[in-house]
Amino acid sequence: MRRGPSLFNLASLGLGLTFLYAPIVLLVVYSFNDSRLVTVWGGFSLRWYGELMHNEQLLASVWMTVRIAALSATVATLLGTLAAVALTRGGRFPGRTIFSGAVYAPLVTPEVILGLSLLLLFVAVGAPRGFWTVSAAHTTLTLCYVTVVVQARLASFDRSLEEAAQDLGCPPWRAFLLVTLPNIAPAVAAAWMLAFTLSLDDLVIASFTSGPGATTLPMRIYSAVRLGVTPEINAISTLLIGLVATGVIAAYLIQTRGVRRASR
Amino acid sequence: MDPGADGAVTDGRLNIGAIRSSFAPWEDPAAEPLVRFEKVTKRFGSVTAVNAVDLAIYEREFFALLGPSGCGKTTLMRLLAGFETPDEGRVWLGDNDLSDDPPHRRPVHLMFQSYALFPHLTVEQNVAFGLKQQKLPKGEIADRVAEMVALVRLEGMERRRPDQLSGGQRQRVALARALAPRPQVLLLDEPLAALDRKLREETQFELMAIQQRLGMTFMIVTHDQDEAMVLADRIAVMQAGEIVQVGRPTEIYEAPVSRYVADFIGDVNLFEAAAVSAEEGETRFAGPDSPGGYLASTDEGVVLDGGLYLAVRPEKMVMHLDPPPEGPNRLAGKVLDIGYLGDWTTYVVGLESGRTVRAARANSARLVERPVGWDDPVWLTFAPDAAVVLTR
Ligand SMILES: Nc1ncnc2c1ncn2[C@@H]1O[C@H](COP(=O)(O)OP(=O)(O)OP(=O)(O)O)[C@@H](O)[C@H]1O
Ligand SMILES: [Mg+2]
């Protein structure tokens, strides 16, 4: 028999959720505000969403952000999956501990430090800062998340399937492509989603590593807010939240579906 | 299967049991083995999983590896399939040294104990997997898949995925997948372990039929001795990484080379004995359990010494309810326990010397005139040629 949640549990759940989501709900609600004043409710309207469509600068930074996110997520997924394969399938190769430490380090490095060191690197090699440097920096940031997700799936993946493929005539790389990859595909897709959303909402590293002409959406919002919050910012933020939430939920769904199928 | 055809051991004494067929290339010195292990050793850290194994397997042979858990059976197979590399020694397939070939270049397929079916592929695609790697034309692949699916009787299930099949069906898919590319040697690692007894027996006969029909060489791992006896042309018994005996099922059962083999295959009574005198083809022994001593047939001369053992199978013990005449091979005691198995009954008899002996009797009649009960005094005798003299 299961008892329902106690009053205390309900209260703490409510408090927690309020704490987490009240600001966001407020932002979303005010994005539909007809009034130009952010703090005064002037009736429901989609006016600011309409204005967004004419704000060339904002649209340009949205496009820039999406391109960076897609590119960095793709590269990070490729590299991160390879790193996961090396860590789970490589056996005890020399330097394995250092390698796994190195892969996970960005996970715990403060973003400011990561951004600063990347900036120093780009300056040192004389790379012109812009789209490519931000993409590279985001690849560095998200690669370790990809590795964590894919490695977890690989660890629970039955090795004898790969052996069976090799036994039937596949060289190891083809066994990976034909047998392992299709089976871990949900985890890889989830990892890509995660990398994409991480890149999408990153401000700190992007600020360090971008240059003129490569302003990402979070950077644009941040600088706009310094001049005062406009309802337009609320609207674009709402869209961003929607996109990130969709990405995270999709990643979650893809992965749980994969796990359920694998454990059947 | 013609029992007793030529090829059976014909030197008189060892003419034992039913012989499966005249197939016996291992007795032909001119025959070239298909698979040859040459002093192969494999260590995992401090564990020697396979120790200096020499083994030859011939074309079209059904060869069984038998031994307790952890004795190195799987490791030996993985050495042949290429998933382990020997620390010492070589593995040959015909005239080719396989030692440096990776698994995908060996014409040897392994049917995994866990089946290892590809979960994202249908039955059909699983079976076709190895054929596609051989780059056969599409039409031929389709034909071969249909043939294999029919062979393992999975028609109508071609489009299913492994998670939509029962355990027995999965096992047959795994068999079809490993068979389809026609490997020179098919390795089966406890292929029937997951099946219930009935399905298991059916599948055993299916396996034998398939092997005969396709004329392939099979090597099977099992720790079920009945399975090995039914299936195999020859059995190798392993102990702690070493092969202690290789022979036909009948040889292994009736002429074990050591107490370990005798005890591992079937039930056996072992009597300590010392050889005291030799006559033409027979040797007299003394031992603590039999006041009249023992008389056993011995082909080769036995060194007149102690430290020997006589092995007698329970079903070769004759049980008497009235005292038989005094003489050798005569044990007196009383019934301690009775195990009724339906077709057989096993009696545990406590001897005067204090040890227990097993005797088995076929229940050939439904009603017995004088049933044997607990604590009844009985006498056991056995024929001189029922005992095997063991030095180890
Ligand atoms: N990859 C490995 N690493 C370390 N030790 C191993 C490895 N594989 C096998 N061994 C050891 O080698 C020995 C032989 O193992 P193997 O799997 O060949 O036994 P087996 O005869 O197949 O046993 P079972 O009947 O239980 O399957 C065991 O002691 C086992 O612990
Ligand atoms: Mg095993």
Contacts of A262 in chain B (CB under 8 A): 119
Task: List beta partners, residue B269.
Answer: B312
Instruction: Tell me the CA distances in angstroms from B19 to B58, B227, B237, one per residue in order.
Output: 18, 16, 19
Report A:166-225 residues touching B (Cβ under 8 A).
Answer: 166-172, 174-175, 178-179, 182-183
Q: Are the Cβ atoms of B130 and A183 closer than 8 angstroms?
A: no
Q: Which residue has its alpha carbon closest to ligand 1 atom 5?
A: B44
Nearest CA in chain B to A169: B104
CA distance A65 to chain B (A): 35
**Which 3-state string (H, E, C) describes chain A?**
CCCCCCHHHHHHHHHHHHHHHHHHHHHHHHCCECCCCCCCCCCECCHHHHHHCCCHHHHHHHHHHHHHHHHHHHHHHHHHHHHHHHHHHCCCCCCHHHHHHHHHHHHHCCHHHHHHHHHHHHHHCCCCCCHHHHHHHHHHHHHHHHHHHHHHHHHCCCHHHHHHHHHCCCCHHHHHHHHHHHHHHHHHHHHHHHHHHHHHCCCHHHHHHCCCCCCCHHHHHHHHHHCCCCHHHHHHHHHHHHHHHHHHHHHHHHHHHHHHHHHC
Nearest CA in chain A to B126: A165
CA of B74 relative to ligand 2 center, distance in Å: 4
Digit-coded pLDDT (tens) for A36-87:
777 777 788 888 888 888 888 888 888 888 899 999 999 999 999 999 988 8
Among 1.25.40.10, 3.20.20.140, 1.10.3720.10, 3.30.565.10, what is the CATH number of A55-263? 1.10.3720.10
pTM of the model: 0.74
Q: Are the Cβ atoms of B104 and A262 closer than 8 angstroms?
A: no
Contacts of B114 in chain A (CB under 8 A): 158, 160
CB of A260 within 8 Å of a chain B CB? The answer is no
Per-residue pLDDT tens digits of chain B, which is 392 residues long: 344 344 344 443 343 334 445 677 777 777 788 888 888 888 888 888 888 888 889 888 889 998 888 888 889 998 888 888 888 888 888 888 887 788 888 888 888 888 889 988 889 999 999 888 888 888 888 888 998 888 788 888 888 888 888 888 888 899 889 888 888 889 998 888 777 787 788 878 888 888 888 888 999 998 788 888 888 889 999 988 889 999 888 888 888 888 888 888 888 888 887 777 777 777 877 777 777 777 777 777 667 676 788 888 888 888 888 888 877 888 888 888 888 888 888 888 888 888 888 888 888 777 776 777 778 888 888 888 878 888 77
Domain boundaries, chain A: 55-263
Domains and CATH numbers, chain B: 5-107+183-259 (3.40.50.300), 267-390 (2.40.50.140)
